[in-house]
Amino acid sequence: MLDLHPLPEPLPSTPEFLAATTALGIDFEPGDLERLGLYLALLLRTNQTHNLTAITDPATAWMRHLFDALTLLPPLAELEDGSEVIDVGSGGGVPGVPLAIVRPGLRYTLVEPTGKKAAFLTGVIAALGLTNARALNARAERLGRDRRLHRERYAAGIVRAVGPLSVIAELVLPLVSPGRWMFAVKGQKADEELHQAAHAIRTLGGRHESTIDTPTGRIIVIAKVRPTPGLYPRADGEPKRRPLGVKPEHGQGQRPGGSPEDAQNT
């Protein structure tokens, strides 16, 4: 765990953020905005030494990080309190931490394979007093193969700025219970990614249910309609190296860490 004390002053919310959340129908409980501001202050301060985000302007971060994360609240409204949500590739904590603050009735597992980022997540959870969240320093592939603790356990898998949908599907769908959902926060190329990932989604037991337009992007909703075959997920790194159903282009490869569109959101 990274010790984040002394705690900074919370960053004040912006008029643009407040207007956007009001338009989305979000009602904050007392203390929510202060905790969101404290999280953002911790993220930006720690980013000076730990490279957590490319966004350093607080006003931009309120929209591109916090509001973007909270656009998941309407689809997550389907879940009953006590449901478990897994945030795969949480990085600096978006979308998992803002959701844990504003929708405390759900239980969140934040998965991050990079040790320094996972240590930050554990420190943030402690600093904010989030009893409904935990951070795991682990690879999603290994969790997806863990039939005792993680495989097909979660009511929802959420993911943002991790990589192409064809890769994300293999990392997330094995963790989602049949009859539940994966929510992928994407940009304007969502339809293109969805077309490319159609084979992977079917193979892994999923079905495209809908695509939700939001003020900051698009959310692809994948229903888990049947159990994921035991062959998946494949070995560590294999989903990224050889995405299911995607033919490699000669002389081209996926940039490590996701698509250029995803990189703009980190």
Per-residue pLDDT reduced to its tens digit, 194-237: 999 999 999 999 999 999 999 999 999 999 999 999 999 999 99
What is the mean pLDDT of the segment spanning 185-199?
Answer: 95
Q: Where are the domains of the chain?
A: 15-243+257-263
- Print the SS3 string covering the chain: CCCCCCCCCCCCCCHHHHHHHHHCCCCCCCCHHHHHHHHHHHHHHHHHHHCCCCCCCHHHHHHHHHHHHHCCHHHHCCCCCCCEEEEECCCCCCCHHHHHHHCCCCEEEEECCCHHHHHHHHHHHHHHCCCCEEEECCCHHHHHCCCCCCCCCEEEEEEECCCCHHHHHHHHHHHEEEEEEEEEEECCCHHHHHHHCHHHHHHCCEEEEEEEEECCEEEEEEEECCCCCCCCCCCCCHHHHCCCCCCCCCCCCCCCCCCHHHHCCC
Does the structure show a pLDDT above 70 at 254?
no
Label residue 188 by pLDDT band (50, 70, 90): confident
pTM (2 d.p.): 0.92
pLDDT computed for residue 247 by the predictor = 78
* pLDDT over 50 at 260, yes or no: no
- What phi, psi does 160 have (nearest 5°)? -150, 130
State residue 246's pLDDT score: 86
Query: Mean pLDDT throughout 105-116?
Result: 98
pLDDT-derived band at 130, boundaries 50, 70, 90: very high
Given a cut of 70, whether residue 256 has pLDDT beyond it is: no
At residue 59, does pLDDT exceed 80? yes
User: What's the topology of domain 15-243+257-263?
Assistant: Rossmann fold (3.40.50)
- The predicted pLDDT at position 257 comes to 34
pLDDT at 261 (0 to 100): 38
43-52 per-position pLDDT tens digit: 999 999 999 9
How much is the pLDDT for 266?
58
The average confidence (pLDDT) of the chain is 93
Tell which wins on pLDDT, 161 or 135: 135
Q: What is the predicted pLDDT for the residue at 161?
A: 83
